[in-house]
Structure 1
């Protein structure tokens, strides 16, 4: 991945700085207005947009939570470990994790070199690609059967893409465009 983009993504955010300064709990007010910890898409998506990106917050264990959107995490560098369905799923550079909305999961503390990007997407974002996918396809079945459910069902897919140059270039272009509000 482009070293300049990696460098930009490694910049420590104010939220991350608070964790480095000793704040030992996630500031839930950044993510939700509810008592239960369900991250609200309205905190991140601009009106009228179906998808956005957000850097994964480092330097703290992110407690079990849900979201009212579909999360796609791409690991740009290092490793990031999620816990799902009582087991740990460690993502390496180039891996992609697709999480159904409302799935409860947590994330282990990521360090400075561990760079992950979260795509925050509404189910409607997948309407056109869904129409293009053939039937009897694992991804199509996952999307059709789970993405529109409104109850917590533990469904996720992990794609071990490694350092596939074509995927890395695509992700780099998407991340760069979205981080630069293009």
Structure 2
């Protein structure tokens, strides 16, 4: 890791000075960073997508000297123990992280963090499901790996597959740690094209985790799951025009049979997954362009305005105008 960045991460912030003096949590985010509606519903802090303004991945160092309250979020989070150790309570289970360990938290998982000391550096890496590529999953489909299943469940929102977190303990091979250090360096150095480089490093990191933490036992490839992956890839690449009927003809299956196989494998219908992919593309265009909403709807293949706004709010917990 860049020495200048490491030294900067060790410096005490104003909020940390207050927490060190009082041993009480000091709010470090603006009110709009917390989804008030969901917080009331969940009876706890729900962090919103405000972190991702003009960027795909958000990184920060966790504030030391006070317990961080129980909270959840609408995105995925990695807690990387750069130095020292930390204790977290994830869904009522105590987890201890030591130097080099990585904790991956699912969207919606509940956790709190005990007070960190002077020499503890915990790095938070936040990213959304859209940063997980269908093509990447397709390449990894033969891996006998618990992390592959975790990623797949994120992309398809499989309600029957609930895994709230994964812990990756440091190994002798520092490949994963080296990639994490590169991600952190790129983020804080703020050089040209850093966002694109960080996204590429994230894909590399996911593959490294799959390679370094396999499951034991023989892997049996499932024909139905491979077919579902092919359909998912088609949705990711052809979301504007793709249809179940066209894919059934392409893969030589009966339409109803393909529909049933897909829902059985991914836990959602073809139309539900297609709508989600279209919303992801629309969100990207809303956040990164000045195109009219009507034009964006047309570009992603959605014609009904009421349907679009309803689904967008359900998925992103906000309105398109707010994200813009």
TM-score range, shorter chain: 0.7 to 0.9
How big is each residue's C-alpha offset from its partner over 1:87-127, in whole Å with a ceiling of 9 and x where there is no partner?
Answer: 21001111111100110111111112110111110111112
- Is structure 2 residue 125 aligned with structure 1 residue 119? yes
Deviation at 1:174, TM superposition (A): 0.8
By relative contact order (CA 8 Å, sep 6+), the higher-ranking structure is 1
* Structure 1 pair 117–59 and aligned structure 2 pair: CA distance change class (3 A): same
2:15 maps to 15
Gaps of 5+ in 1: none
* Structure 1 pair 130–52 and aligned structure 2 pair: CA distance change class (3 A): farther
Deviation at 1:150, TM superposition (A): 9.8
- Aligned pair count? 179
Take 1:172 and 1:23, find their aligned partners in 2: how far apart are those partners? 30
- Is structure 2 residue 136 aligned with structure 1 residue 134? no
**Bigger strand fraction:** 1
Contact in 2 for aligned 1:99/1:155 (Cα 8 Å): yes
1:68 maps to 74
User: Could you say what secondary structure the match of 1:25 adopts?
Assistant: coil
Contact in 2 for aligned 1:69/1:121 (Cα 8 Å): yes
Contact in 2 for aligned 1:95/1:161 (Cα 8 Å): yes
Contact in 1 for aligned 2:76/2:129 (Cα 8 Å): yes
Gaps of 5+ in 2: 40-44, 195-324
* Structure 1 pair 73–106 and aligned structure 2 pair: CA distance change class (3 A): same
* Structure 1 pair 67–26 and aligned structure 2 pair: CA distance change class (3 A): farther
1:101 maps to 107
**Bigger helix fraction:** 2
Contact in 2 for aligned 1:85/1:154 (Cα 8 Å): no
Take 2:157 and 2:81, find their aligned partners in 1: how far apart are those partners? 26
User: Could you say what secondary structure the match of 1:21 adopts?
Assistant: helix
Deviation at 1:144, TM superposition (A): 1.5
User: Could you say what secondary structure the match of 2:103 adopts?
Assistant: strand
Q: TM-score, normalization: structure 2?
A: 0.50
Q: TM-score, normalization: structure 1?
A: 0.85
